Chains A and B, each alone.
Chain A
């Protein structure tokens, strides 16, 4: 993975910069000893790492503004960071960059059940947003599997999704407003607690901009009353094609489950070994969850089971108790962890039109053989967001490169069939150089113009999202 050569003049000014940060931040909020900056050298895409110049951990919007102003004056690149769980390298620094971590900004500022909103500081973890309101019967809907660790800041930057977004949407559909600090230190309020933009939809633009337009310090989120109940059903099929057809039929029939998750044989086996969830060992497994009162759940599941039966499932298991429901989800939720136990893996994130599922799975199988690396598939089937997991061993010379090449082939395949490179993890550094597969130069130019407006000096997370060659002139200016 190529990163631009660090600016040595900035590195030479490190001591001076650190002392300027110490003028505006408490001592323990400026991390500059090499032993300590190492903690910020990578995010969830751990194969790539580089310690930053230093890391700063402000505790207020004002401190964030003060830090950014200094960096703006000094022409120093800044990489915003939430919890560092990005799988795309979005929070990976370069040697001349300052990591600006928002982990200390984690308060709840306001909850309003009548308006169904919560305002939090952006470093707060996803799960603890729900944690703050669940006793009162509410929840925050987007639920990335990393929700215990990942921060709302990272969710907004990546426009993260989760298992339940088929019904509730992804981050952008649940975000009402942000407080954001621009690179020059200006604090702006975009959106608020209301439901649509007064003028241009700048909030929609900021969400998913991968930390390149501003540093988000506060967010107002939509919260929802908890449904009366939820129940999953597990179905096994003897081919992925049939499972794919079943998904399509469920959607066409007008049932809208909150989640439809898919796992292939490799994933089923690995997860079963790891979690002992009692999964049937078969070619394809679907977990479908519906919500409501018992009566409503029964009504929906009857329809779903009737559809499933027309596809001759090898297993059809409806959770009868909360414990059984937990077991059905347990395997799926531990999928990434289970895969990590057996090998290093790279998790891809392309989205495809759901009717292309059988073809794409077959092609992935062929490519996997061609490249000699196993690929497991676990994903959100209702919306076509795939997560092929390529298994490799980082200690075997050449395997990381083979894995990257195979990953690129699979993502190109997603684009070819009418899909996209990333459905929820973001571009970061990982998919940066594939952007040309999906976009024309004019398409990319239009996006880069947006960054020109928000961050004219291209100091915020500059070497991400756009192919290095395309952004080079702007970064150099």
Chain B
């Protein structure tokens, strides 16, 4: 295990490596193949190096704990608007989540439907590639089209193209007020229909999720505006089960942290995350291959993301168990008759390490795209030492 504290040390460690490296930040998100290699931690590179609230920008080293960033932002009434999920509850991991881990996995929460994903808030990166070369891309300004956007490429590349050493982020004001509409008595199809209706309204919904049989719709902003929109939206949704407006801050916090962290599935042994369009989720998945199966789910992003959890007991009813379910899910997502031209993908998020070592956790891509991805990895990491096999 090596734990450099500066970019230069990290660069030397990579250049000197003579075999596979397993790159970790806080180590709270073990997803994909995480077995092979010498552990190399970026958690030693810490500290906020620049924070300008008036410019809505924050620059920090990649190992900085997310909690430290959130605390600094809270002092200025700002936040990471993409609401990064904390995976610890779901995955049963310990450790301190780092911002580098958030970026490397492009982790975004419920507000993604309004403000975009982590990658949309990432303004710049510095990283060390597989040869030990330090590379910088993007910067710290809000609008930047200078050269190729390697910033987006690095977001979600999970340490397979380079090891992040510094990230700059767009930060946003925290809304002074919020309201959550709770809709009860709806089945999945009705729940999806209600969320769709909410998203088609002009009321700037910034959270729409279904968990434990209820649907939650969130509105944030200034006081009068929130009250106005909550009222209008409640009226529009009255045909969709019974509507209650939750205004209590602690209660709302619990609801949305639970959705963000998918805590409803924390006791499930296997969890998948599926991204597809809301209309196809209903037709192709819930009314299709999943129909009649025993499973639990959290639907977020107004139906564009569903977390599917199965306990050992539920899996015992599935043909070929977890492996069978995994294959079925990924095959379904690759089938255009199910997903339409909009497509989709399924990722295995939680499973015992031995199981993850055996399957492709990430949705296999069509050959030409897989070839591009392999080509990029070969360029950025010619020796193939950065988290080898993690994403493939």
In contact, B150 and A385 (Cβ under 8 angstroms) = no
**Complex: how many Å from CA A253 to CA B157?**
35
**Complex: how many Å from CA A116 to CA B133?**
42
Mask for B138-179, Cβ within 8 A of A = 1, else 0? 011111111111111101110011000000000011111000
B345 within 8 Å of A (CB atoms) = yes
**Complex: how many Å from CA A192 to CA B152?**
17
In contact, A115 and B342 (Cβ under 8 angstroms) = yes
In contact, A296 and B341 (Cβ under 8 angstroms) = no
In contact, B117 and A195 (Cβ under 8 angstroms) = yes
A366 within 8 Å of B (CB atoms) = no
Contacts of B392 in A (CB 8 A): 199
**Complex: how many Å from CA A420 to CA B137?**
11
Contacts of B369 in A (CB 8 A): 188-190, 199, 202
* Chain A residue at minimal CB-CB distance from B54: A248
In contact, A199 and B362 (Cβ under 8 angstroms) = yes
In contact, B136 and A195 (Cβ under 8 angstroms) = no
B71-120 interface (Cβ within 8 A of A): 76-77, 106, 108, 112-113, 116-117, 119-120
A34 within 8 Å of B (CB atoms) = no
A254 within 8 Å of B (CB atoms) = yes
Instruction: Please tell me which one of the listed residues A228, A248, A451 contacts residue B202 in the complex, with CB atoms under 8 A apart.
Output: A228
Instruction: Please tell me which one of the listed residues A117, A137, A203, A353 contacts residue B141 in the complex, with CB atoms under 8 A apart.
Output: A353
In contact, B144 and A444 (Cβ under 8 angstroms) = no
In contact, A423 and B141 (Cβ under 8 angstroms) = yes
Contacts of B341 in A (CB 8 A): 110, 119, 192-193
A290-349 interface (Cβ within 8 A of B): 292-293, 295-296, 299-300, 303
In contact, B228 and A295 (Cβ under 8 angstroms) = yes
Most chain A C-beta atoms within 10 Å of own C-beta, residue among B52, B143, B339, B373: B143
User: Among A76-84, A100-108, A167-175, A370-378, which stretch is in contact with chain B?
Assistant: A167-175
B276 within 8 Å of A (CB atoms) = yes
The smallest beta-carbon distance between B172 and chain A, in angstroms, is 7
Contacts of B119 in A (CB 8 A): 196, 201, 204
In contact, A225 and B202 (Cβ under 8 angstroms) = yes
Instruction: Please tell me which one of the listed residues B150, B174, B372, B373 contacts residue A447 in the complex, with CB atoms under 8 A apart.
Output: B150
In contact, B202 and A446 (Cβ under 8 angstroms) = no
In contact, B380 and A446 (Cβ under 8 angstroms) = yes
B30 within 8 Å of A (CB atoms) = no
B134 within 8 Å of A (CB atoms) = yes
In contact, A296 and B221 (Cβ under 8 angstroms) = yes
A160-198 interface (Cβ within 8 A of B): 161, 165, 169-170, 172-173, 177, 182, 186, 188-198
Contacts of B291 in A (CB 8 A): none
Instruction: Please tell me which one of the listed residues B54, B156, B222, B363 contacts residue A252 in the complex, with CB atoms under 8 A apart.
Output: B54
A121 within 8 Å of B (CB atoms) = no
A416 within 8 Å of B (CB atoms) = no
B196 within 8 Å of A (CB atoms) = yes
A39 within 8 Å of B (CB atoms) = no
In contact, A380 and B279 (Cβ under 8 angstroms) = no
A159 within 8 Å of B (CB atoms) = yes
The smallest beta-carbon distance between A177 and chain B, in angstroms, is 7
Known: A169-B116, A200-B373, A420-B141. A248 touches B221 (CB 8 A): no
In contact, B139 and A196 (Cβ under 8 angstroms) = no
User: Among A46-54, A55-63, A268-276, A424-432, which stretch is in contact with chain B?
Assistant: A424-432
In contact, B304 and A195 (Cβ under 8 angstroms) = yes
A391 within 8 Å of B (CB atoms) = no
Contacts of B200 in A (CB 8 A): 113-114, 116, 137, 225
Known: A195-B117, A201-B156, A353-B52. A385 touches B142 (CB 8 A): yes
**Complex: how many Å from CA A422 to CA B138?**
11
Instruction: Please tell me which one of the listed residues A198, A384, A451 contacts residue B55 in the complex, with CB atoms under 8 A apart.
Output: A384
Contacts of A74 in B (CB 8 A): none
Instruction: Please tell me which one of the listed residues B161, B224, B275 contacts residue A196 in the complex, with CB atoms under 8 A apart.
Output: B275
A453 within 8 Å of B (CB atoms) = yes
In contact, A443 and B137 (Cβ under 8 angstroms) = yes
In contact, A194 and B145 (Cβ under 8 angstroms) = no
The smallest beta-carbon distance between A113 and chain B, in angstroms, is 6
Contacts of A113 in B (CB 8 A): 200
The smallest beta-carbon distance between B237 and chain A, in angstroms, is 15
B267 within 8 Å of A (CB atoms) = no
Mask for B166-206, Cβ within 8 A of A = 1, else 0? 00000011111000000000000000000010011110100
Instruction: Please tell me which one of the listed residues B55, B149, B225 contacts residue A159 in the complex, with CB atoms under 8 A apart.
Output: B149
Known: A251-B54, A353-B140. A195 touches B145 (CB 8 A): no
**Complex: how many Å from CA A444 to CA B305?**
36
Instruction: Please tell me which one of the listed residues B153, B176, B375 contacts residue A204 in the complex, with CB atoms under 8 A apart.
Output: B153
**Complex: how many Å from CA A343 to CA B347?**
57
In contact, A202 and B373 (Cβ under 8 angstroms) = yes
In contact, B176 and A254 (Cβ under 8 angstroms) = yes
**Complex: how many Å from CA A220 to CA B343?**
11
B391 within 8 Å of A (CB atoms) = yes
B129 within 8 Å of A (CB atoms) = yes
B207 within 8 Å of A (CB atoms) = no
In contact, B140 and A450 (Cβ under 8 angstroms) = no
Mask for A196-231, Cβ within 8 A of B = 1, else 0? 111111111101110000000000100001111000
Mask for B25-56, Cβ within 8 A of A = 1, else 0? 00000000000000000000000000011111
Instruction: Please tell me which one of the listed residues A208, A227, A300, A465 contacts residue B222 in the complex, with CB atoms under 8 A apart.
Output: A300
In contact, A193 and B120 (Cβ under 8 angstroms) = no
**Complex: how many Å from CA A352 to CA B149?**
18
* Chain B residue at minimal CB-CB distance from A186: B368
Contacts of B376 in A (CB 8 A): 200, 449-450, 453
B352 within 8 Å of A (CB atoms) = no
Contacts of B155 in A (CB 8 A): 201, 204
**Complex: how many Å from CA A459 to CA B226?**
53
Contacts of A454 in B (CB 8 A): 372
Mask for B356-381, Cβ within 8 A of A = 1, else 0? 00000011011011001101100110
**Complex: how many Å from CA A412 to CA B108?**
35
Instruction: Please tell me which one of the listed residues B56, B148, B224, B278 contacts residue A251 in the complex, with CB atoms under 8 A apart.
Output: B56
The smallest beta-carbon distance between B233 and chain A, in angstroms, is 12
B297 within 8 Å of A (CB atoms) = no
B305-346 interface (Cβ within 8 A of A): 305, 339-345
Known: A422-B146, A439-B136. A353 touches B196 (CB 8 A): no
* Chain B residue at minimal CB-CB distance from A254: B173
In contact, B77 and A254 (Cβ under 8 angstroms) = yes
A435 within 8 Å of B (CB atoms) = yes
In contact, B129 and A446 (Cβ under 8 angstroms) = yes
A8 within 8 Å of B (CB atoms) = no
A383 within 8 Å of B (CB atoms) = yes
In contact, B372 and A189 (Cβ under 8 angstroms) = no
The smallest beta-carbon distance between B347 and chain A, in angstroms, is 7
In contact, A173 and B116 (Cβ under 8 angstroms) = yes
- Taking A198-B363, A209-B148 as given, write out 5 further A-B residue pairs in contact, using a Cβ cutoff of 8 Å, ordered by the A residue number: A173-B120, A249-B54, A354-B55, A355-B54, A423-B143
Q: List 25 A-B contacts (CB under 8 A).
A: A115-B279, A115-B342, A172-B120, A193-B276, A194-B304, A194-B343, A200-B373, A200-B376, A201-B106, A201-B152, A201-B156, A205-B148, A251-B53, A251-B56, A251-B173, A253-B173, A254-B175, A295-B224, A299-B222, A303-B222, A351-B144, A383-B143, A423-B145, A443-B136, A446-B133
Chain A residues close to B by CB (< 8 Å): 110, 112-117, 119, 137, 158-159, 161, 165, 169-170, 172-173, 177, 182, 186, 188-205, 207-209, 220, 225-228, 248-249, 251-256, 292-293, 295-296, 299-300, 303, 351-355, 380, 382-385, 418-427, 431, 435, 438-440, 442-444, 446-447, 449-454, 465
Pairs of residues from A and B, 3 with the lowest C-beta to C-beta distance, nearest first: A204-B152, A193-B342, A192-B343
